[in-house]
Amino acid sequence: MPDSAPPPNPLLQSWPGPYGGVPPFDRIAPAHFPLAFDSAMAEHRAEIAAIANNAEPATFENTVAALEDAGRTYNRVMALWSIYTSTFNTREVQAIDLDWQPRFAAFADEITHNPRLFARLEAVYASPDKARLTPEQQRLVWKYHNGFVRQGARLAADEKAQLSAYNQQLASLYTRFSQNELADEERRHLVLEGPEDLKGLPASLADGYAAAAAEKGLEGRWVVANTRSAMEPFLTFSERRDLREAGWRMWIMRGDNGDAHDNNAICSEILQLRARRAKLLGYATHAHWRLEDAMARTPETAMALMLKVWPAAVARAKAEAAEMQALADREGAGIRIEPWDWRHYAEKVRKAAYDLDQAEVKPYLQMDRLKEALHWTSGELFGLRWSPAADVPTARPDISVYRVEGADGALVGLWYFDPYARKAKQSGAWMNEYRTQERFRRPVAPIVSNNCNFVPGRPGEPVLISWDDAVTMFHEFGHALHGLISGVSYPSLAGTNVARDFVELPSQLNEHWLPTPQVLSRFALHARTGEPMPEALSRKLKAAETFNQGFAVVEYLASAIVDMRLHLEGDKPLDMREFERRVLEEIGMPREIVMRHRIPHFGHVFGGDGYSAGYYSYLWSEVLAHDAFKAFEEAGGPFDGATARRYCETILAAGDTAPPEQAWRAFRGRDPDPEAYFRAKGFPVSGAA
């Protein structure tokens, strides 16, 4: 009897199930991907050849629309692969990724460097018939043409070959960088041996560390993982200064330990290759290439904003450090405030100045209740309704899925929530887009996810998170809303496919709804008593909004300035440690603060091109976000219906159908005003002029 045929590769099939299909996480494994990559590439290559070799004159429909419709299998496979490399990045996945990333880069260049294809695209771009297209179609033509040109479509054949070689080398380096960063997060951790090591830690935090230890087979001990969500609360509450220093040093030295996972040489090589690529493409530096189609347009404009904010932030941070030093002196601690002391003494100052103790706040911040707050807020603002989608497979039982409906009951999309830290998952918090909204050939509902790294507590106990983590939940949910509420025809223009320094506007604006009385009174419920947060405590939170903002802005902005300076250096080799030290010295970095992301673990910048020369985007978008929330306040309050509808129509639903500055003016009626940002930080408003 002949052997039965192997089952079909689930990655190459249309997604089965309800909601227009869902990812078949119950059927796929890493071993499915290599064959799927080969097959999907071959299919996409044939689609491109059919468009490029079409004998008919180039039109929007047979060229641009055809390009938009091509590569659906490939895009579907790659969407799932991005989920695996960020959330299930096992050794098997890492090996596949290291092998395939250069091939993905070469394949992308194969498309953009196809001369017949670009000739047809350019014909549509230059045709007088373009004026008869809809505004969205004209924007799509521009986006394809601009993208092809920026990726080297006009270069000579030998220049294209060189450019592709750079891109393939960079793809390998990005993968190695990210895998090294993950390795240092997974293989290094701080072990607390006994009760004396727990001094100062809230019980809920200690329970989480005990659970982390049990996962590593260290029962009876406690483990502080080398991740932000585990380390920052330890640095805040631990009274063991020696352990704070040990944990802090471990955390800030990721990728910088002079071993097999050291990223310094990789960073230098990435910078040189980026500079050479930019020069080949006709740009002065990588920063000039990256910002050309951003809202800021030039590195000089972005740097000007950063340097406008920097002096005020440093002045505030120095005042904050002086307050902490004075408190330590009054305690008779006999210490000089160091970076591993900052969060600990900041918490003491907060308690003394505002009678606000984060340990008092945390019992009101239950992760599940805050998840409900996200859903409720989106319903009040945008009419969204949320319900569990029990008929959707997930890769793990602790990942939940929700059906999202509009006020009319129609399906909007699906939202996956992956909240917990685990081995093989990258640290931090982020939003993924599994499927992009469109109305091109047929209506397609988007599928998005939010991913966090919370430390689970004891079974059956609510997971309590910090105020900063609650803010992060609202931030990342803003990205999810951007993907879900999208209402455009073409997927390339949908949702978060906007300029890098505009994409953070919805996320940073969404943070503003967390501290509102409407949210806190309903969802900040005590984990033990179920009582809502007392009004007196919420008033303390409000009064302390500008507390420690010097530190927060300095640690972020130092990273953003170093990022931009790195990418303005050209292609000369750099010593990463020396460069970081020199730039921070030049700008007057306070000695008590370290960059939020030091160069060797700056994944935003060296894990891919995404935020390279673009980490300033968070500041740029935050200025917009504060100004946008001011529009709600001017209209009568944070839940003003008319303002929410205008924001939804001009920003969230519009995607990239218009340039970002045009979308902003459609919402706000004028150019951005940084005054609200300066006021929110407690900085002198004169700096906004």
pLDDT tens figures, 302-328: 999 999 999 999 999 999 999 999 999
Give alpha helix (H) positions in 283-425: 286-291, 299-331, 342-354, 358-361, 367-382
Point out the domain boundary residue: 180, 210, 237.
180
Whether residue 210 sits in one domain with residue 173 = no
Q: How far is Cα of residue 341 from the mean position of the Cα atoms in its chain? A: 28
Position 456 scores a pLDDT of 86
Q: What is the mean pLDDT of residues 494-516?
A: 97
Tokens of 457: 């507590």
Instruction: Answer yes or no: do 54 and 192 share one domain.
Output: no
Q: For residue 7, what pLDDT band results from cuts at 50, 70 and 90?
A: confident
Mean local confidence (pLDDT), 448-477: 93
Write down the pLDDT at residue 358. Answer: 86
Residue 478 within a domain? no
Contact 85, 143 (CB under 8 A): no
With 90 as the cut, is the pLDDT of residue 687 above it? no
**What's the CA angle centered on 289, arms 480 and 133, to 5 degrees?**
65
- Coil, strand or helix at 309: helix
| Active site residues per annotation | 476
Q: How many CB atoms lie within 10 A of CB 72?
A: 16
**By 3-state DSSP, what share of the chain in percent is helix, strand and coil, each rounded to 5?**
60, 5, 35
**Residues whose CB is less than 8 angstroms from the CB of residue 531 and which lie 6 or more positions away in sequence, other chains included:** 525
Domain count, the chain: 3
546 in any annotated domain: no
56-111 pLDDT, tens per residue? 999 999 999 999 999 999 999 999 999 999 999 999 999 999 999 999 999 999 99
**What global pTM score does this model have?**
0.95
- Residue 123, in any domain of the structure: yes
**Portion of the chain with pLDDT greater than 70, in percent:** 99
Residues 132 and 218 in one domain: no
Which ranges of 567-689 does DSSP label H, i.e. alpha helix?
Answer: 576-587, 603-606, 617-634, 641-647, 660-668, 675-681
Mean pLDDT, range 584-606, rounded to an integer: 98
Domain holding 216, by residue range, is: 188-252
Residues 41 and 159 in one domain: yes
In a domain, 34, yes or no: yes
pLDDT band, very low/low/confident/very high, at 686 (cuts 50, 70, 90): low
| % of the chain at pLDDT higher than 90 | 96
Q: Are residues 236 and 379 in the same domain?
A: no
Buried b or exposed e, range 192-231, using 16+ CB within 10 angstroms: beeeebbebbbebbbbbbbbbbeeeebeebbbbbbbbbbb
Letter string b/e over residues 39-71, b meaning 16 or more CB atoms within 10 A of that residue's CB: bbbebbbebbeebbebeeebbbebbbbbbbbbb
Q: Which CATH number characterizes residue 381's domain?
A: 3.40.390.10
Residue 670 lies in a domain: no
Condensed to tens digits (0 to 9), the pLDDT of residues 530-559 reads 999 999 999 999 999 999 999 999 999 999
Q: Which two tokens stand for residue 340?
A: 């591993």
Residue 13 structure tokens = 């099939």
Q: Is residue 317 part of a domain?
A: no
Q: 405 pairs with which residues across the strands?
A: 385, 411
pLDDT above 60 for 40: yes
Query: Is residue 458 over pLDDT 90?
Result: no
| 62 and 92 fall within a common domain | yes
Confidence label for 1 from pLDDT (cuts 50, 70 and 90): very low
114 lies in the same domain as 207: no
Torsion sign over Cα 300, 301, 305, 306: negative
Mean pLDDT of 186-208: 95
Domain boundary pick from 164, 180, 196? 180
**C-alpha to C-alpha distance for 358 and 374, rounded to whole angstroms:** 21
| Same domain, yes or no: 443 and 519 | yes
Which pLDDT tens digit goes with each residue over 257-290?
999 999 999 999 999 999 999 999 999 999 999 9
Residue 545 phi/psi, 5-degree rounding, is -60, -35
CA 189 to CA 560: how far, in whole Å?
27
Name which of 5, 541, 564, 7 is nearest 274 in CA terms.
Answer: 564
Q: What is the pLDDT of residue 689?
A: 44
